[in-house]
């Protein structure tokens, strides 16, 4: 880990993102039109652990954005630290999402900084190397971006901005590493064809498609995908390798060093 001085965060991390994208993408596919897909799970809900065996069966890794304040909670609604360790040991990325899914856009700098930094420090204390962050509710502004940067993260992700009209994918490197864009989050009624369409729409020019899921279950939540459909989606992604599609974690796309813990 190396220390970092806050300041010109967007320019510095645009450069780091570019270096990271080159280092990871070029060995996999030489074409400038490489399309990178990242499978992401928000909130650390207990049913997401179902994805572990599905990812392993496809030799793929995902990014899990978790709220450390509710890990091992008494309701058993969220994954345990041991389950997160299992996922991490498989090669998945464990990333930050605030302590208890707090909307940091509505907080002043000091409480937002304490929340985000403590959440990241909790991850570090359990042996993870968190470099990626997802804004709860996809809600952020310039102050929230600064907080995420100052707490040692290399990127921040929203939940919108990619569509089938003008923006078909996030760029590599992103235009703003602390405001990365995604297609609409799949819901219970979203078809596999729709999700696959987010990827094929990007294939013409390349770019980064972040697919964000919240629950892996059969009709347990509005924002859910069934285990069967998740497996079918990964089956399909494997068939797209010949079209220059690769699956990578957020950290692999963004690049950059793992920063030291920051005192809240």
pLDDT per residue as tens digits for the range 174-204? 999 999 999 999 999 999 999 999 999 999 8
Distance from C-alpha of 213 to C-alpha of 194, rounded to nearest angstrom:
14
Residue 121 forms part of a structural domain: yes
pLDDT of amino acid 33: 62
- Residue 263, domain member (yes or no): no
115 in any annotated domain: yes
pLDDT of residue 242: 93
Helix (H) or strand (E) holding 148: helix 142-150
Residues of the chain with pLDDT under 50: 1-32
Strand 35-42 with 207-213, pairing: parallel
Read off the pLDDT of residues 1-42 as tens digits, 9 standing for 90 and up.
443 434 444 444 444 444 444 343 333 333 446 999 999 999
Note down the domain range covering 142: 9-254
Cβ–Cβ under 8 Å, residues 238 and 29? no
Confidence (pLDDT) at 19: 43
Nearest-10 Cα torsion for 153, 90, 245, 155: 0
CATH classification of the domain holding 192? 3.20.20.370
264 domain-assigned: no
Q: How many domains does the chain have?
A: 1
What are the distances in angstroms from CA 91 to CA 147, 200, 228?
Answer: 27, 26, 22
- Residue 219 domain flag: yes
Peptide bond before residue 173 is cis, with ω within 30 degrees of 0: yes
- Residue 1: inside a domain: no
Confirm whether 2 is domain-assigned.
no
pTM above 0.85, yes or no: yes
């Amino acid at each position: 880990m190396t220390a970092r001085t806050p300041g010109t965060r967007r320019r510095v991390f645009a450069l780091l993102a570019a270096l990271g994208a080159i280092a990871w993408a070029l060995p996999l596919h030489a074409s400038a039109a490489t399309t990178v897909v990242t499978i992401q799970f928000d909130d650390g809900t207990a049913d997401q652990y179902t994805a572990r065996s599905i990812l392993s069966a496809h030799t793929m890794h995902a990014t899990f954005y978790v709220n450390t304040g509710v890990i091992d909670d008494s309701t058993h609604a969220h994954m345990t630290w041991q389950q997160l360790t299992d996922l991490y040991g498989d090669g998945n990325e464990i990333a930050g999402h605030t302590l208890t899914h707090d909307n940091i856009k509505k907080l002043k700098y000091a409480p937002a900084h304490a929340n985000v930094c403590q959440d990241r420090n909790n991850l570090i204390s359990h042996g993870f190397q968190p470099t990626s962050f997802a804004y709860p509710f996809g809600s952020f502004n310039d102050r929230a971006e600064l907080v995420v940067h100052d707490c040692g993260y290399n990127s921040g992700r929203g939940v919108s901005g990619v569509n089938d009209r003008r923006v078909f994918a996030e760029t590599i490197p992103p235009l703003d590493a602390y405001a990365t864009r995604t297609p609409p989050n799949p819901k219970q009624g979203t078809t596999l064809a729709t999700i696959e369409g987010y990827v094929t729409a990007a294939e013409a020019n390349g770019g980064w498609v972040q697919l964000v899921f919240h629950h892996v279950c059969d009709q347990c939540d509005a924002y859910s995908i069934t285990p069967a459909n998740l497996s079918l989606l990964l089956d399909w992604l494997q068939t797209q390798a010949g079209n220059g599609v690769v699956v990578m974690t957020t950290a692999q796309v963004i690049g950059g060093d793992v920063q030291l813990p920051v005192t809240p």
